[in-house]
């Protein structure tokens, strides 16, 4: 009976670059772990059911943030009220936002080797518990809608990693200088109403609404300033900017984030809550951990179950 279950996503860009990685991971795991390659959601749910029957204690995930979100969603549905296994992240994605928030560094092979060593010795550096966000029947850690989701839609048409993301930002800046349709198709201000817990409804125009249970955005940007002190809450940030203001003020906003300071500008609405109902006049696409979902006029975001992440010594 395997003590460690390892799920690897062969479709992640990083794993495609190293097609023999799963064989190496199987070799490293040896008799202590079982490697499962999941090509689609149906296979993922079958693996979750198998690992549940085998009562694995540790689940290692080799893939990006979208793979982690999909995997945890499948395991939450399969395990139902039963405790989930402890989770180990192997940094198998391009951005690895969640792993960066947990300060996990190394290649998938190196991280799995450390996991096998720690499991054999019965010693782990620490366990970190992180709450999930629940949106419909999906679970993750970082939500965004509006401009951010439309940016991802454009980016995914020609995925090229971090450099591609930077190039798309540069293209948007050039498009803004020319006042071309490309910029204004992605960057918009959407009339939005936020209903959080028992607070009065807040209606305003927003470029994007973000919700998170972790501090950093992709590329290690410390965007969420209140989440570390918010127990059993998630943080919501609404950016009240017009398209022209996005182009002029984005750099200053990121500068305040990188300096790890509260943003003093009036366009930054920031609060913590346990449940948020987000309504827009027009259907707006949204993303959860980099996965895109169909446009919707109303989205309910609430806290999901807490996940225990193991950090190998």
State the pLDDT at residue 264. Answer: 52
Q: Where are the domains of the chain?
A: 4-123, 140-305
Looking at CATH, the fold of the domain delimited by 4-123 is given as: Rossmann fold (3.40.50)
What tens digit of pLDDT does each residue of 150-172 get? Answer: 999 999 887 767 778 888 988 99
Looking at CATH, the fold of the domain delimited by 140-305 is given as: Tumour Suppressor Smad4 (2.60.200)
Q: 40: Cβ–Cβ under 8 A, 6 or more apart, which residues?
A: none
Arithmetic mean of pLDDT, 210-221: 93
Question: Residue 65: left (phi > 0), alpha (psi -120 to 50), or beta?
Answer: alpha
pTM for the full predicted model: 0.93
Q: Find the range with the poorest average confidence among 75-84, 87-96, 133-142, 151-160.
A: 151-160
The backbone torsions φ and ψ at residue 46, rounded to the nearest 5 degrees and listed phi first, read -65, -40
Asked if residue 79 has pLDDT above 50, the reply is: yes
What tens digit of pLDDT does each residue of 53-63 get? Answer: 999 999 999 99
């Amino acid at each position: 009976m395997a003590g460690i279950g390892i799920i690897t996503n062969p479709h992640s860009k990083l794993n495609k670059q190293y097609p023999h990685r799963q064989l190496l991971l199987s070799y490293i795991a040896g008799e202590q772990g079982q490697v499962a390659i999941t090509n689609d959601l149906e296979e993922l749910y079958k693996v979750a059911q198998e690992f549940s029957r085998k009562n694995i204690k540790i689940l290692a995930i080799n893939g990006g943030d979208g793979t982690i979100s999909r995997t945890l969603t499948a395991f939450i549905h399969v395990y139902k009220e039963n405790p989930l296994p402890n989770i180990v992240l192997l940094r198998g994605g391009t951005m690895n936002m969640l792993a960066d928030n947990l300060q996990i560094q190394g290649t998938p092979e190196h991280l799995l080797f450390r996991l096998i060593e720690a499991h054999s010795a019965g010693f782990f550096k620490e366990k970190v518990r992180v709450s999930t966000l629940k949106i419909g029947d999906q679970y993750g850690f970082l939500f965004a809608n509006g401009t951010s989701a439309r940016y991802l839609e454009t980016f995914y048409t020609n995925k090229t990693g971090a450099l591609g993301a930077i190039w798309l930002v540069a293209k948007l800046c050039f498009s803004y200088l020319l006042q071309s349709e490309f910029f204004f198709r992605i960057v918009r201000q959407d009339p939005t109403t936020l209903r959080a817990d028992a607070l009065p409804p807040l209606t305003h125009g927003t470029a994007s609404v973000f919700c998170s249970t972790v501090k950093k955005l992709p590329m290690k940007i410390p965007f969420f300033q209140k989440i570390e002190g918010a127990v059993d809450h998630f943080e919501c940030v609404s950016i009240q900017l017009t398209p022209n203001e996005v182009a002029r003020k984005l750099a200053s906003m990121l500068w305040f984030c990188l300096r790890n300071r509260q943003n003093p500008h009036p366009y930054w609405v920031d609060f913590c809550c346990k449940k948020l109902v987000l309504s827009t006049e027009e259907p707006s696409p949204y993303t959860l951990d980099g996965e895109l979902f169909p446009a919707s006029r109303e989205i309910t975001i609430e806290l999901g179950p807490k996940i225990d992440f193991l950090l190998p010594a």
